[in-house]
Amino acid sequence: MDQPDCYAVLGLPEDADAADVRRAYRRLARDCHPDANPDDPRAAERFLTLAAAYAVLSHPARRAAYDGCRRYTKAVRAATPPPAVSSPSAAFAPLDPRVLSPRRGKACPPCWTFPTPWPPTAAG
């Protein structure tokens, strides 16, 4: 399971400074604290997620490491090509020359032409 994005959890842009991080954390912590929401069973889970995001973004070294991991992950995802086929059945589907044709919908001319009859006859 993927980790939640710390910036999204706090509702912050990536260029937020330390004061913005602290302000967002305090505002959200008041709203989703388990003591303030005793009837909500997921309040504790949301509060712990919020606290973890704040712990990462409030510490300069942790935030720098987190930002580096995010940049690396984005670069890897951008460099990874999409799958060649959408499904295994598409890989084994018969090839239709009309689909492969550069002139969509028209039959594709043969890929090769021989000026002489094939197979060549022996002169003799």
pLDDT band at 23 (very low <50, low <70, confident <90, very high): very high
Identify the pLDDT of residue 1: 41
Domain boundaries, the chain: 6-79
C-alpha distances in angstroms, 61 versus 34, 74, 106?
29, 20, 61
The rounded radius of gyration (Å) of the Cα atoms in the chain is 30
75 vs 26, higher pLDDT: 26
Q: Does residue 36 carry a pLDDT above 70? A: yes
SS3 at position 42: coil
Q: Does residue 60 carry a pLDDT above 90? A: yes
Q: Does residue 13 carry a pLDDT above 80? A: yes
- The verdict on pTM exceeding 0.75 is no
CATH 1.10.20.10 fits 6-79, yes or no: no
C-alpha distances in angstroms, 12 versus 7, 72, 75?
5, 20, 21
